[in-house]
Amino acid sequence: LEVLRQDYILTAQAKGLSPRTIIWRHALRNALLPVITLLGLSVPGLIGGSVIIESIFALPGLGQLFYAADMARDYTMIMGNLVLGAVLTLLGNLLADVCYGLADPRIRSSREVH
């Protein structure tokens, strides 16, 4: 709703663009930026939360595997799980960056700064 009150939305309305075009082309792209940020940064929380959820509900998965390896002091398995979590976190951030480029044309332009 905050995006719909911005000056560029009023300018688009004054130019005579249809409300559908204004919403899809102008407002939605700018409103998606905070959502993309939150989704990209929530990947580590999802991995950490899986340990708790899988332990409570006795579900098989990476969280349960990590917990069992921790209890058995299996350091190789713990390090493997941490590396996998780090890779998934990096992929989540990479996906967020790619989505930023798709949503915001200012990010796509590669201007050199001198």
User: pLDDT digits over 37-78, tens only?
Assistant: 888 888 888 888 888 888 888 889 888 888 889 999 999 999
- Please indicate, yes or no, whether the overall pTM of this predicted structure exceeds 0.75: no
Would you state the structure tokens that stand for residue 49, as one six-digit string? 């939360």
The predicted structure's pLDDT at residue 78: 92
What is the distance between the alpha carbons of residues 77 and 9, in angstroms, rounded to a whole number? 53
How far is the CA of 61 from the CAs of 16, 34, 44, 65, in angstroms?
Answer: 54, 30, 16, 6
Task: Give the pLDDT band of residue 113 (cuts 50, 70, 90).
Answer: low
- Reading phi first (left if > 0) and then psi (alpha if -120 to 50, else beta), residue 81 is in alpha
How far is the CA of 70 from the CAs of 47, 56, 78, 104, in angstroms?
Answer: 15, 16, 7, 42
Q: How far is CA 69 from the centre of its chain?
A: 28
